[in-house]
C-alpha cells in the first residue's frame, strides 16, 4: 500500500514540483491550499493587485491550484479556509508589533501557526501519514546531537529554513521537503520538462498581504490613531534633526524612506512609539554584540548541544557564530546590524541544522 502525503499547494512552481516528485517517488499524493486571504481582507495589497489576472497575483492562487491539480498533477485537492485565523494570528499581530515599536516576522508565524499546522491537522483527520511543502529546506538527522529536524537547503540563495524555525520539532518529523537538495534553476528546468506553465507562475518573495514598499500604508489605521502631531527625529544625542508624519512602520536599521535629509548617512536605531520619537544613528550605532530572546523553541533549550552555535536574524544572511551566555542571552563573535527587536533569531549547528529559535528582545545595547 502506498504511503499517503498531503502537499500544501500555492499555485507556484515550487509546490507543484514537490507534488510531482512525490508522485514519481511512489506516494499517493493529495493536494491542499490553505486559504488565508480574500478580496475583502483589511489593509493589505492595493486595489491594483486585486485587479490583476489571477495568475499574476502574489497570493492564494486558488484558480491556478485547481488548474494544476486537474490538468497536470491529476490529484485530488481540498481548500481549507483559514482566513479568520490568519487575520487574528498574523495580520492583527503584525499591526500590534509595529504599534509596540518592534518589527514582526509574519512569515515565520504563518508557517508555524497557520499553514503547516493546518496541513498537519487535516492530514491527521484523514489518516494521511505525511505532509509536504515546496519550501527549500532539508530533512536532516544530526548524528552528533542525535536529533531529527531541518537543515539549510542545498540552494543557499533560496533556503527557507529560517522561516520554518518556529515550527515545533515534533511537527517537523511529519513534514517532507522534496526540494531540499534541488536548486531553483533545476526546479524550473524540471517543471518545463513536464510542460508546466512556468512562465505564468509569479513567485512571491514578500509577506503575502503587503509589499515591502507599503508597510506604512498597510498600517494606516494605526497611523490615524497615533499621528496627531508629527513625530520628532533625533540623533543619538537627542538633538532634533527633523520631523515626520509618523514613525509607525519604520524598523531598526532602515535608512531609506525616513523622510528627513541629513548630511551624514543615518539609520533608524530605535522607534519610541510612546514619545513619538525616531532615534537615528550611524552604521556603527546600530551594531550589536549582545542580544537576548524570548519564547525559546527547540532542542537548543531542552538539552546539551555539542559543537559550535550559529545564528541568523534574517533569512538572507549567512549564519554567524555566537555563544550562549545563559538566561536566554547570547554574545556574537563579531558585531552585527541585524539584531532587530521582534524579528526571529534562528540558531544552527555545524551541519547547518536548525537547533531552535526565539524572538529578539530589546537588550541593554538596544534600549
Q: Is 69 a catalytic residue?
A: no
Claim to verify: residue 337 and residue 272 sit in the same structural domain? no
Q: Which of the residues 59, 60, 107, 110 is marked catalytic?
A: 110
Claim to verify: residue 297 and residue 280 sit in the same structural domain? no
Contact 62, 109 (CB under 8 A): no
Contact 223, 276 (CB under 8 A): no
Question: Measured between alpha carbons, how far is 14 from 174 in angstroms, rounded to an integer?
Answer: 19
What pLDDT score was predicted for residue 14?
Answer: 95
Q: What is the CATH number for 99? A: 3.40.50.620
Question: Measured between alpha carbons, how far is 312 from 327 in angstroms, rounded to an integer?
Answer: 19
DSSP state of 89: I
Of 301, 294, 309, the closest CA to residue 362 belongs to 294
At 220, is the pLDDT very low, low, confident or very high (cuts 50, 70, 90)? low
Over residues 229-246, mean pLDDT: 91
Claim to verify: residue 320 and residue 264 sit in the same structural domain? no
What pLDDT score was predicted for residue 214?
Answer: 59
Strands 329-336 and 344-348: unpaired
Contact 98, 152 (CB under 8 A): no
Q: Which residues touch 25 (CB under 8 Å, ≥6 apart)?
A: 178
Claim to verify: residue 306 and residue 327 sit in the same structural domain? yes
What pLDDT score was predicted for residue 363?
Answer: 63
Q: What is the domain count for the chain?
A: 3
Claim to verify: residue 244 and residue 348 sit in the same structural domain? no
Task: Tell me how crowded residue 321 is: count the other CB atoms within 10 A of its CB.
Answer: 12
What pLDDT score was predicted for residue 43?
Answer: 44
Claim to verify: residue 27 and residue 127 sit in the same structural domain? yes
What are the tens digits of pLDDT across the range 90-118? 989 998 998 888 999 999 999 999 999 99
Of 153, 209, 196, 199, the closest CA to residue 9 belongs to 196
Claim to verify: residue 32 and residue 129 sit in the same structural domain? yes
Q: Which domain holds residue 82?
A: 4-134+178-200
What does the block give as the cell for 287?
A: 551594531
Q: Is 59 a catalytic residue?
A: no
Residue 38 lies inside a defined structural domain of this protein: yes
What are the tens digits of pLDDT across the range 266-308? 999 999 999 999 999 999 999 999 999 999 999 999 999 999 9
Claim to verify: residue 225 and residue 349 sit in the same structural domain? no
Task: Tell me how crowded residue 250 is: count the other CB atoms within 10 A of its CB.
Answer: 23
Question: Measured between alpha carbons, how far is 182 from 21 in angstroms, rounded to an integer?
Answer: 11
Claim to verify: residue 305 and residue 328 sit in the same structural domain? yes
What pLDDT score was predicted for residue 45?
Answer: 45
Show which of 285, 309, 334 is a domain's final residue. 285
Question: Measured between alpha carbons, how far is 86 from 218 in angstroms, rounded to an integer?
Answer: 16
Of the candidate ranges 12-26, 57-71, 111-125, the one whose mean pLDDT is the lowest: 57-71
Claim to verify: residue 50 and residue 191 sit in the same structural domain? yes
Over residues 142-149, mean pLDDT: 90
Claim to verify: residue 291 and residue 239 sit in the same structural domain? no
Q: What percent of the chain has pLDDT over 90?
A: 70
* Backbone φ, ψ for residue 119 (5° rounding): -60, -45
Beta strands in 16-136 (DSSP E): 28-35, 77-81, 130-132
Show which of 242, 264, 285 is a domain's final residue. 285
Residue 85 lies inside a defined structural domain of this protein: yes
At 325, is the pLDDT very low, low, confident or very high (cuts 50, 70, 90)? very high
Show which of 142, 165, 200 is a domain's final residue. 200
Residue 140 lies inside a defined structural domain of this protein: no
What pLDDT score was predicted for residue 48?
Answer: 47
Q: What is the CATH number for 296? A: 2.40.30.10
Claim to verify: residue 238 and residue 299 sit in the same structural domain? no
Of 291, 312, 311, 295, the closest CA to residue 363 belongs to 291
Amino acid at each position: 500500500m502506498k504511503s499517503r502525503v498531503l502537499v500544501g499547494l500555492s499555485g507556484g512552481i515550487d509546490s507543484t514540483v514537490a507534488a510531482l516528485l512525490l508522485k514519481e517517488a511512489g506516494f499517493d499524493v493529495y493536494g491542499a491550499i490553505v486559504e488565508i486571504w480574500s478580496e475583502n481582507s483589511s489593509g493589505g495589497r492595493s486595489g491594483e493587485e486585486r485587479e490583476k489576472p489571477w495568475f499574476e497575483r502574489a497570493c492564494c492562487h486558488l484558480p491556478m491550484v485547481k488548474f494544476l491539480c486537474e490538468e497536470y498533477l491529476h490529484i485530488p485537492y481540498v481548500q481549507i479556509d483559514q482566513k479568520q485565523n490568519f487575520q487574528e494570528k498574523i495580520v492583527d499581530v503584525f499591526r500590534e508589533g509595529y504599534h509596540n515599536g518592534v518589527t514582526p516576522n509574519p512569515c515565520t508565524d504563518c508557517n508555524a501557526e497557520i499553514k503547516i499546522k493546518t496541513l498537519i491537522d487535516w492530514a491527521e483527520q484523514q489518516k494521511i501519514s505525511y505532509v509536504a511543502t515546496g519550501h527549500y529546506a532539508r530533512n536532516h538527522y544530526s548524528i552528533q546531537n542525535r536529533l531529527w529536524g531541518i537543515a539549510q537547503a542545498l540552494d543557499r540563495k533560496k533556503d527557507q529554513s529560517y522561516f520554518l524555525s518556529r515550527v515545533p520539532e515534533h511537527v517537523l518529523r511529519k513534514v517532507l521537503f522534496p526540494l531540499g537538495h534541488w536548486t531553483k534553476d533545476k526546479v524550473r528546468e524540471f517543471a518545463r520538462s513536464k510542460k508546466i506553465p512556468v512562465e505564468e507562475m509569479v513567485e512571491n518573495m514578500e509577506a503575502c498581504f503587503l509589499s515591502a514598499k507599503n508597510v506604512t500604508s498597510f498600517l494606516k489605521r494605526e497611523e490615524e490613531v497615533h499621528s496627531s502631531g508629527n513625530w520628532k527625529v533625533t540623533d543619538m544625542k537627542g538633538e532634533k534633526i527633523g520631523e515626520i508624519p509618523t514613525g509607525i512602520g519604520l524598523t531598526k536599521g532602515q535608512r531609506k524612506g525616513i523622510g528627513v535629509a541629513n548630511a551624514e548617512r543615518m539609520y533608524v536605531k530605535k522607534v519610541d512609539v510612546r514619545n513619538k520619537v525616531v532615534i537615528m544613528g550611524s552604521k556603527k550605532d546600530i551594531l550589536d554584540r549582545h542580544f537576548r530572546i524570548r519564547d525559546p523553541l527547540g532542542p537548543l533549550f531542552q538539552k546539551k548541544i555539542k559543537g559550535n552555535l550559529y545564528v541568523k536574524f534574517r533569512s538572507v544572511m549567512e549564519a554567524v557564530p555566537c555563544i550562549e551566555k545563559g538566561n536566554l542571552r547570547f554574545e556574537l563573535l563579531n558585531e552585527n546590524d541585524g539584531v532587530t527587536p521582534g524579528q526571529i533569531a534562528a540558531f544552527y549547528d555545524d551541519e547547518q541544522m536548525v537547533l531552535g529559535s526565539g524572538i529578539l528582545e530589546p537588550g541593554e545595547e538596544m534600549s
